[in-house]
Every structure is written in C-alpha cells, then in structure tokens.
Structure 1
C-alpha cells in the first residue's frame, strides 16, 4: 500500500497517467473540450486527497476510479447517462487490457486487407485456420503464413501507434495512443 505524501508525488503521478486518464474520459464523453475539463477536475480531486493519509492499494486503479466517477457524475448532470457507460473498477483490475482490446479492430483495419481479413477471422472471430483457408479460398499453408505475417504487422502498428507501459513480467500496465497516429486519433473522434 502507498501513501501520497506531497504535491510533488501527485505531479509525478499525474504526468505518468494523464494521457491514459484523458483517453478514458474522451471515450466516454466523446468531446475533447469536455474531456479536458473533466481531466482538470480529476486532477484537482487527486490533489485534494493527496495528503489525507489514506493508504492506496493500487494507485492506477484509484486514479481511474476517480476519473470514472467524475465522468459518470458529469453524464448524469447533463442527462447523457446510459447503461453503456458504467464500468465498475475492481481495486486490482487492470483496465489497460480492455482499452487495448477496443483498439484491436481499428488497428487491424490499418493492415493490408490480404493480412487483415485472415487475422480478423482467426484471432478475433476465433474461426479455425482450416475454415479460414476454405472461406478465403487459400491453401492452409498460405492462410497460416498470412496470419503470422498479420500478427507481426499488427505488433509493428501497435508499437507505431501506442505508448505501452509494461511491468517487469511484460504485463500491460497502461496504453496511450500517440498523437502522431492519425488513423487511431481519427477513429477516436468517430466514436
């Protein structure tokens, strides 16, 4: 468990998680200006509770819970609250995997079609590779080759478009879309 002892601790935490928190809020409110305003509100709530002597088991989850509650409060106040929005954060849950999962389809769509389609069918729709080869009228060898190539290309796209924070074991801690990745930035604007 951790205590946030001083404002410099909050500054450091905010710089580490700011982009992820803003991305989370933007996904919910779908408006960049509102997202920025709510992000500032979240920062103020974090600052206000920084010296409360409360033990925080998982700082990242705690910060995302504040962002979540702030967003829900805003949506309720504006009568924009729907059943789709609430997500309950468990204290130790890592929501980065959920964020990454939501980005897989748009990232796959950035790949050349001859690789994107077999990957989509095999890995996302979980169709057996034998069935994928029949569906695409390809040999099984060609299908497997395209899926492997697509996975490699997808990994390159993820590295090109996202900043990933991993723990020592390689588990995803946080994910942030790079500003330079226009296709994913445009995808977020469409949502």
Structure 2
C-alpha cells in the first residue's frame, strides 16, 4: 500500500514539474523529440527511485539533477559529450548566476540600510570588510556582524521571491522570480 501512495505522490510531482524538466532538457539539446523522449526516461528514473527508501530533502532539485544526469548520459552514449559540451553546461551555470545577479541588488535594497549598504559594498562591489568598516565608521566586528546578518536576510528574500533550482553540488541550475513576489512589487525603488 505504501508503494502505491509513493507512486501517486510522484505522479502529482511529475504533473507539476514535467514541463519545466522538459524545457530544461530542450534548452540543453535543442531537439523537441529528443526532449520528449528523455523526459519520459527521467520520469521512469524518478518512479524507480521513489521507493528506494532514501530521504530526499529537495525534491524539485533532485528531479532537475536526474534530468541533468540523463542529458549527460545521453550525450555520452552518443559520443557527443566533449569539452565543448562541458563548456556549454558550465556556461549555462554562469548564465544562471547572471540571472540571479539581476534581481539581487533590488532585493538587497529592500533590506534596512544599515545591512544593505555593507552588503552591497562588500559582496557586490568587492570592497574589503576593513574598508567597509572605515567608510561606515564602524568597528570591523560590527561590520562583519552586519554583513552576516544582511546575508541571512537576503537569503530569506531570495526564498520568498524566487524559485531557485540547485544541483547536488549546491550550484544553481535555474532561477525564476515568482510572479507574486510582494517585496519586489511593493518596493518603490524598483519601479523601472
């Protein structure tokens, strides 16, 4: 009975994520038929893994990791996995970082100024924490504390405002701003 419940759970997850997974595969391979075929393979891998007893902490990320590995397996089986393909995958990862950067500053600006300014200087502009402490007339300890607090607050805003997919290594696969991100909608500084 438990297996049937697991399969039903996987079915509902698949319905929710199948178009995103197919798009991810299509983006990598640029072939609609192949994306359909590999999407079905991903589904079968997900079904086969669902009852393995292993705890999965982030199901969505796990599903994207399966799709990613399925694409790599396909390319290897076709002898198409070359350094050029590896560079493309790394380039896609860098594009995800670039996409994230576009909305990080507006989210940082939502933080109280006493946290936003040191974080912007340190993490965005690359100013050393010692220089930040001098510019803000704070002790180094207070500066470090504010930057750490700002990072935590920013993480909360990112979780609230985006769907961030990461792989098993903690690297971003894709990022998408939620349509209902209230902080970005309410932010008067963000009306461009």
**Count of aligned residue pairs for this structure pair:** 124
Structure 1: runs of 5 or more not aligned: 1-8, 21-41, 61-89
2:33 is matched with which residue: 35, 50, 67?
50
Larger radius of gyration: 2
Once the two structures are superposed, the pairs formed by residues 22-37 of structure 1 within 5 Å of their partners are none
CA contact under 8 A between 1:177 and 1:184: conserved in structure 2? no
Residues in 1 aligned to 2:177 and 2:97: alpha-carbon distance in whole angstroms: 14
Once the two structures are superposed, the pairs formed by residues 5-154 of structure 1 within 5 Å of their partners are 13-16=18-21, 49-50=32-33, 91-92=88-89, 93=91, 94=93, 95-154=95-154
CA contact under 8 A between 1:177 and 1:185: conserved in structure 2? no
Assess, with a 3 A threshold, how the Cα gap between structure 1 residues 17 and 115 changes in structure 2: closer, same or farther.
Answer: farther
CA-atom RMSD in angstroms: 3.7
- Return the TM-score normalized by structure 1: 0.53
Structure 2: runs of 5 or more not aligned: 1-13, 39-66, 69-86
- Return the TM-score normalized by structure 2: 0.53
Residues in 2 aligned to 1:15 and 1:145: alpha-carbon distance in whole angstroms: 39
How many Å apart are 1:50 and its aligned residue?
A: 2.1
> Which is helix-richer, 1 or 2?
2
